[in-house]
Amino acid sequence: MNFKEKTTGQNLQAKSFIANYGGIANIAAENGQLKSKVAINIKGTNPSPLEVRQYLSTKLDSAGFDKIIEHESKFKHFNANNEPIKSFDKGYGMCQLTNPTPRFEQVWNWQMNVDGGLQLFEEKRKIARAYLGQNDRSYTERQLNYESICRWNGGRYHEWDTPTSQWIRQKHILCDSKTGNIGWDMNDPENRGKTEAELHKRDRDTYSRPPQPGAHWQYFGVCYADRILK
């Protein structure tokens, strides 16, 4: 991604316009017949977990989001080369922003990355509130956190239990506790009656890539939430 900054004066206030950017900056200057170019490599420095938590404390509806950041990136925004971390599925930065594709400054500036993550998380919380509150049903703050974090990863966490008139975790999902969000639908005849250990032994060699046609394991937001909030 490229951007340009021009000035007609004699001083370029570089600090003000590169504060949110990184990578290779090609700077050109002209003054009449005189021209000069220079390239500089702008790199980043990771904040501490405390700095990230302090930043989150200033934001509304951020409860539980530190758990997501800790799980996704262990509070790291830059890799060993001081460049933004990038996952195999093109998730960028501390919050692993993927969809929508983050802006260039969200890739480089960790606070903007967190702001983008919080905006997406708030959308998930709104969906979670609407789901849990349907038909005037009641729910706890704990259930809202589980539902929101589950939906950050994908899918719903709770199902309505009519006999007890309350929200409960989806009963048919068994999680592989050795992973982050892998699990099994125990309604699948190929999984029914088997233990977690048996299913893990059967499927573990196929975890290195997304589940293929015929696979009997899946990625579950339920398992993601269980892992983060355990």
Each residue's pLDDT tens digit, 74-125: 999 999 989 999 988 889 999 999 988 999 899 999 999 999 999 999 999 9
pLDDT of residue 8: 54
Over residues 51-63, the mean pLDDT reads 93
> Which pLDDT band holds residue 38 (cuts at 50, 70, 90)?
low
pLDDT at residue 203 is higher than 80: yes
Tokens representing 63 are 């409860």
Tell me which of 202 and 88 has the higher pLDDT.
Answer: 202
pLDDT tens digits for range 152-179: 999 999 999 999 999 999 999 999 999 9
| β-bridge pairing 218-219 and 182-185 | antiparallel
Over residues 188-192, the mean pLDDT reads 98
Over residues 43-67, the mean pLDDT reads 92
CA angle 131, 133, 134 (to 5 degrees): 70
DSSP 8-class letter at 63? T
> Which pLDDT band holds residue 16 (cuts at 50, 70, 90)?
very low
Domain edges within the chain: 1-42, 49-161, 173-220
pLDDT of residue 35: 72
Q: What is the mean pLDDT of the chain?
A: 88
> Which pLDDT band holds residue 21 (cuts at 50, 70, 90)?
low
Burial of 170 (0-12, 13-18, 19+ CB in 10 A): middle
pLDDT of residue 152: 94
pLDDT of residue 47: 96
> Which pLDDT band holds residue 39 (cuts at 50, 70, 90)?
low
Q: Which segments within 32-172 are labelled E, that is strand? A: 34-42, 158-161, 166-169
> Which pLDDT band holds residue 42 (cuts at 50, 70, 90)?
low
ω into 100 cis (within 30 of 0): yes
Secondary structure class of 197 (helix, strand, coil): helix
Torsion over CA: 196, 200, 203, 209 (sign): positive
Which pTM does this prediction carry? 0.78
